[in-house]
Amino acid sequence: MQIKINDVLRAYIEPLTESEYQALERSLLTEGCRDALVLWEDVLVDGHNRYQICQEHGIPFKVTENTSFKTMEDVKLWMIDNNLGRRSISDYQRGVLALRKKEIMTARALELAAEAAAEDAKIAPPEGEDAPAKKPAAMPLASREDIARAARLSTATIGQIEKIQKTAAPELVEAVRTGTISINAAANVASLSPEQQLAAVAGGKKELQKAAKEVRELRAASRPQKEPKEGRPASTVDYGDVPSDVAELRAENIALREKNAALLEEITALQRRISELVSA
């Protein structure tokens, strides 16, 4: 069988880092290709790196065809779920995959709702009879909680990954993808201008951490102080000489508490929107 490579599918999952690719290559050379490559008809779906390495070194491999796929979206959803089930991928990769799953499922829900509305418009029930039951729409990942559950991450981390995807320079995305900077720190650096982001990335890990710290401190300074309750002194936040990672976790904890109320409102609004689409 002539295996075909679809460039969209090959690029759909985050690529391996150089060290990960080399580790896979060593494993295949030592143990052979134990897992079969997955095909959609003759198109390769899972195993692009293994296929490339096996071709380069003449390593035998097996293939299996998944006959359940009907559309490209089916293939993408399977690829997402398959990779979310792997332990080796990073938290950032998990978040990106879960957000992609949300996009596909939301689009499907809207499409099914539109089809149901069109059918209702065509077929009116006889006078005095009730309308037939509507076909339920596919439920999307409606809220950050749903997305976080699919990715096994916190809702705050999902929000940070969304911000990175929207505002981070490609160089900053690569830095967080390869583990040079944490998701939390990258989300802070993504608040800076593209030029400032590039300068921080060029300075390496220490410069990125410094830039993230400066953003956090600027936000803390601009945040209005809460009025102390009667009979209680005003609380102050002074981390003294504690390690920077401890201070970062404390600052993140404060920020997460403040975001909680806003996130609950967002979830309620999204769930209301889904109910409207299903019952439309």
pLDDT tens per residue, range 7-18: 999 999 888 888
Q: What is the mean pLDDT of residues 99-119?
A: 83
pLDDT tens across 246-259, in order?
556 665 665 566 55
* Rounded-to-integer distance, Cα 83 and Cα 89, Å: 8
Q: Are 191 and 215 spatial neighbours (Cβ–Cβ below 8 Å)?
A: yes
User: What is the band of 32 on the pLDDT scale with cuts at 50, 70, 90?
Assistant: very high
pLDDT of 236 strictly over 50: no
Q: Are 3 and 29 spatial neighbours (Cβ–Cβ below 8 Å)?
A: no
* Rounded-to-integer distance, Cα 172 and Cα 196, Å: 11
Domain coordinates in residue numbering, the chain: 1-71
* Rounded-to-integer distance, Cα 185 and Cα 190, Å: 9
- The percentage of residues in the chain with a pLDDT greater than 90, rounded to a whole number, is 47
Q: What is the mean pLDDT of residues 34-49?
A: 95
What stretches of the chain show up as alpha helix (H) in DSSP?
A: 7-10, 18-31, 48-57, 72-84, 91-122, 144-151, 155-167, 170-177, 183-189, 194-202, 204-222, 244-279
Residue owning tokens 């900053």: 172
pLDDT at position 13, please?
87
Residue owning tokens 């401190």: 217
- The percentage of residues in the chain with a pLDDT greater than 70, rounded to a whole number, is 72
* Rounded-to-integer distance, Cα 279 and Cα 135, Å: 10
Give the other-Cβ count within 10 Å of 245's Cβ: 10
* Rounded-to-integer distance, Cα 35 and Cα 84, Å: 17
pLDDT tens across 164-190, in order?
999 999 999 999 988 899 999 999 999
pLDDT at position 249, please?
64
Mean pLDDT of the chain: 81
Lowest-pLDDT choice from 95-99, 118-122, 190-194 = 118-122
